[in-house]
C-alpha cells in the first residue's frame, strides 16, 4: 500500500488530494480497493481499455502477448508506461524480456474483454510459450489451455491439454487429468484427449469408461498417426488383460505389434512382446512365453534399453526353469552396473539367492553384496532396517550351508573376515566372476558396452 502511494506521489500529475481522504475514511482491508477505484476514475478511457484487455491473462506474460490485445489502443506505449508508473500495471524483469500483469484487484472495476480478442491471446501464448520455447511451466500450460478453451481454439486446447494430462498421469494426479480432459472434450473431441482421459480413468477403476474412450481415441486417430495408434492399442490390451479377457488382449497386442514394427519402435515392440509373453504364460503356453520374452530381450539389448532388459531377463528367470540361473545371473550382473532403484537391486540379489542350490558358493557373495547395498544405497530408504535384517539372515543362512558352525556373532564375523567377505574389493569382483561363469556363452546382450 505504501509502495503504491509512493508511486503516485512520484508521478506528480495524480490528484492525491481526492484520493487520500477517501482512503483514510475506510478500514485498512478496503483501502487498496478504494485507492484503485478513485485512481482509475482519473484515467483516460484508453488507459482503462489497456488494463481491461490485459486482465484476460492471469499470469505475467511477455509484452508480445499484451500487444496482441492492445492492438488499436491510442498511444499504447505512453499508456503502458503511465500504467506502470501508477502501479496499475505490474512489470517484472525476467532476464532481458520483462513480463506484465494487471493486478486482479482491478477486475471488478473494469469492463470485460471483447470475446473477439480471445483467439489472439491463445495463439500468441501458444507461439511464445510452446512453439518458440524449449520448456514451459505447468502454470504456463494451464494458462494456454484455459485461454484456448475460452477462445474455442480446439487444436491448441487438445495439444496442450494432452500434454498436461500426460504429466498429471505420471504424477498420479488422475482425477485432475480426468477433469481437464472432460472440459477439453467440450470443444475438442480429439483422439489425444480421449486417449489421455482413458489412461487416467483406468487407475481410478473406471474400466468401462476407459475402454469406451480408448475406442473413441482409436476411431478418431488419423491413420497416419501410427505411433499414437500403437500406444492406444497397447493400453487397451492392458485393460483386457487385467480383466482376464486374454484372447481380446492378445488380438490388440498383435495389432499394436504390427504398428510398432511398421515405424521401427523397438522399445514399444519389446514392451508389447513382454506383455504377450506374460499372457502366453497365463494360458500355459510356456514355449510361446519363452520365445516372446527372448524376442523382447533381443530388441531391448539392441537399443541398450538396459533397465527394461533387466525386467525381461528377470521374467525369463521365472518362466524358463531349464535356464533360470543363467537369466537371473544376467539380470543381476546388468542390474548392478546401471541406475536402478535400491529395492530393485535388492530383489535381484534375493531372487538369485533363493534360486541357487543350498550350498552354492555364490550365496555368501550374494548375501554380503546385499548387506553392502543396504549400507551404501539403502540408508535413507524408509524400510532400510527391514532390508538390512533380510541381508543379515541371508548371510547367516549362506554361511551355515557352507558347513560352518558358529555360536556367537563374533564367530560369524571372524569367519567372514577370514573368507574376506567383509572386504568389497575382494567379494564384488568375485561375485562378477561367478555370475559370468554361470552365464557362460549364453549372454543375451553385449557386455563390451560396460568395459
Please give the residue that has the higher pLDDT: either 208 or 7.
Answer: 208
Average pLDDT over residues 8-20: 52
- Tell me the sheet residues that pair with 92: 99
Q: Which domains does the chain have, with CATH numbers?
A: 1-111 (1.10.10), 324-451 (no CATH)
**pLDDT 10s digits, 403-434:** 888 878 888 888 888 889 889 999 999 999 99
Q: What is the pLDDT of residues 362-376, one digit of tens each?
A: 999 999 999 999 999
pLDDT of 5 > 70? The answer is no
For the cut 80, the answer to whether the pLDDT of residue 95 exceeds it is no
Long-range CB pairs of 215-221, under 8 A, 24+ apart, other chains included: 216/189, 216/191, 217/191, 217/192, 218/191, 220/189, 220/190, 220/191, 220/194, 221/191, 221/195
317 to each of 17, 64, 285, 408, 437, how far by Cα in Å?
85, 59, 16, 36, 17
Euclidean distance between CA atoms 371 and 392, whole angstroms? 7
pLDDT score of 134: 87
Contact of 57 with 101, CB cutoff 8 Å: yes
User: In this model, does residue 27 exceed pLDDT 50?
Assistant: no
pLDDT confidence of residue 22? 53
Q: What is the mean pLDDT of residues 105-121?
A: 92
pLDDT of residue 390: 94
Output the nine-digit C-alpha cell for 134: 524449449
pLDDT on residue 409:
83
**Buried b vs exposed e over 20-33: b needs ≥16 C-beta within 10 Å?**
eeebeeeeeeebee
Local structure of residue 64 (DSSP, 8 states)? H
Please return the burial class of 190, using the count of CB atoms within 10 Å of its CB with bins 0-12, 13-18 and 19+: buried
Q: What is the mean pLDDT of residues 351-372?
A: 91
pLDDT at residue 16, as a whole number: 52
Q: What pLDDT is attached to residue 210? A: 98
What are the phi and psi torsion angles at 440 (to 5°)?
65, -120
Distance from C-alpha of 113 to C-alpha of 106, rounded to nearest angstrom: 13
Say how far residue 362 (Cα) sits from the centre of its chain.
39
* Cell numbers linked to 8: 503516485
Question: At 36, is the pLDDT very low, low, confident or very high (cuts 50, 70, 90)?
Answer: confident
Query: Smallest Cα–Cα separation from 363: which of 352, 375, 372, 348?
Result: 352
Q: Where are the alpha helices (DSSP H) in 303-380?
A: 306-319, 324-335, 342-355, 362-377
**Rounded distance, CA 322 to CA 350, Å?**
19
Q: Is the pLDDT of residue 19 over 60?
A: no
Q: Span 209-215, mean pLDDT?
A: 98
pLDDT above 70 (res 104): yes
**Is residue 30 predicted with pLDDT exceeding 50?**
no
Exposed, middle or buried, 451 (CB in 10 Å: 0-12/13-18/19+)? exposed
- Residue-level pLDDT at 228: 97
Among 32, 71, 65, 34, smallest CA distance to 49 is for 71
Q: What pLDDT is stored for residue 94 in this prediction?
A: 62
In this structure, the number of other CB atoms found within 10 A of the CB of residue 6 comes to: 11
Dihedrals φ, ψ of 62, to 5°? -65, 160
Output the pLDDT for position 97: 80
The arithmetic mean of pLDDT across residues 195-211, rounded, is 98
pLDDT of residue 25: 46
Confidence of residue 2 (pLDDT cuts 50, 70, 90): very low
- Phi, psi dihedral angles at 71 (to 5 degrees): -55, 130
User: Is residue 28 over pLDDT 80?
Assistant: no
- pLDDT bin (cut points 50, 70, 90) of residue 1 is very low
Task: Please say whether the beta carbons of 329 and 352 come within 8 A.
Answer: yes
Q: Is residue 7 over pLDDT 80?
A: no
137 CB contacts (<8 Å, ≥6 apart)? Answer: none
Q: Return d(Cα 242, Cα 209) in angstroms, integer.
A: 15
Q: What is the mean pLDDT of the chain?
A: 91
Amino acid at each position: 500500500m505504501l509502495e503504491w502511494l509512493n508511486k503516485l506521489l512520484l508521478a506528480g500529475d495524480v490528484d492525491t488530494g481526492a484520493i487520500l481522504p477517501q482512503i483514510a475514511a475506510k478500514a485498512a482491508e478496503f483501502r487498496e480497493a478504494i485507492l484503485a477505484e478513485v485512481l482509475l476514475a482519473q484515467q483516460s478511457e484508453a488507459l482503462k481499455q489497456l488494463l481491461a484487455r490485459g486482465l484476460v491473462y492471469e499470469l505475467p506474460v511477455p509484452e508480445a502477448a499484451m500487444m496482441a490485445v492492445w492492438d488499436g489502443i491510442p498511444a499504447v506505449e505512453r499508456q503502458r508506461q503511465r500504467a506502470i508508473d501508477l502501479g496499475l500495471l505490474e512489470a517484472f524483469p525476467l532476464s532481458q524480456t520483462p513480463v506484465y500483469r494487471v493486478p486482479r484487484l482491478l477486475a471488478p472495476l473494469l469492463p470485460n474483454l471483447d470475446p473477439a480478442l480471445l483467439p489472439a491471446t491463445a495463439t500468441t501464448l501458444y507461439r511464445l510459450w510452446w512453439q518458440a520455447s524449449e520448456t514451459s511451466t505447468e502454470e504456463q500450460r494451464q494458462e494456454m489451455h484455459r485461454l484456448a478453451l475460452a477462445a474455442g481454439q480446439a487444436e491448441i486446447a487438445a495439444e496442450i491439454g494432452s500434454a498436461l494430462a500426460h504429466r498429471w498421469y505420471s504424477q498420479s494426479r488422475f482425477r485432475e487429468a480426468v477433469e481437464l480432459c472432460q472440459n477439453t472434450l467440450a470443444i475438442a473431441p480429439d483422439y489425444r484427449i480421449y486417449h489421455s482421459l482413458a489412461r487416467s480413468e483406468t487407475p481410478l477403476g473406471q474400466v468401462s469408461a476407459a475402454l469406451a474412450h480408448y475406442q473413441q481415441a482409436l476411431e478418431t486417430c488419423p491413420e497416419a498417426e501410427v505411433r499414437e495408434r500403437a500406444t492406444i492399442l497397447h493400453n487397451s490390451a492392458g485393460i483386457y488383460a487385467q480383466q482376464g479377457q486374454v484372447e481380446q488382449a492378445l488380438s490388440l497386442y498383435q495389432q499394436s505389434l504390427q504398428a510398432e514394427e511398421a515405424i521401427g519402435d523397438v522399445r514399444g515392440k519389446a514392451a508389447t512382446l513382454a506383455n504377450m509373453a506374460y499372457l502366453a504364460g497365463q494360458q500355459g503356453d510356456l514355449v510361446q512365453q519363452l520365445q516372446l520374452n527372448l524376442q523382447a530381450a533381443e530388441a531391448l539389448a539392441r537399443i541398450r534399453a538396459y533397465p527394461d532388459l533387466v525386467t525381461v531377463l528377470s521374467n525369463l528367470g521365472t518362466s524358463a526353469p531349464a535356464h533360470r540361473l543363467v537369466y537371473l545371473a544376467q539380470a543381476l550382473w546388468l542390474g548392478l552396473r546401471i541406475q536402478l532403484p535400491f529395492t530393485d537391486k535388492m530383489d535381484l540379489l534375493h531372487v538369485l539367492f533363493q534360486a541357487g542350490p543350498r550350498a552354492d558358493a555364490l550365496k555368501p557373495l550374494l548375501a554380503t553384496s546385499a548387506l553392502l547395498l543396504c549400507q551404501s544405497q539403502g540408508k535413507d530408504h524408509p524400510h532400510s532396517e527391514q532390508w538390512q535384517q533380510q541381508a543379515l539372515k541371508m548371510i547367516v543362512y549362506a554361511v551355515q550351508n557352507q558347513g560352518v558352525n558358529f555360536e556367537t556373532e563374533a564367530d560369524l564375523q571372524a569367519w567372514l573376515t577370514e573368507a574376506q567377505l567383509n572386504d568389497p574389493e575382494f567379494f564384488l569382483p568375485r561375485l562378477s566372476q561367478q555370475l559370468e561363469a554361470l552365464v557362460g556363452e549364453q549372454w543375451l546382450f553385449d557386455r563390451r558396452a560396460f568395459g
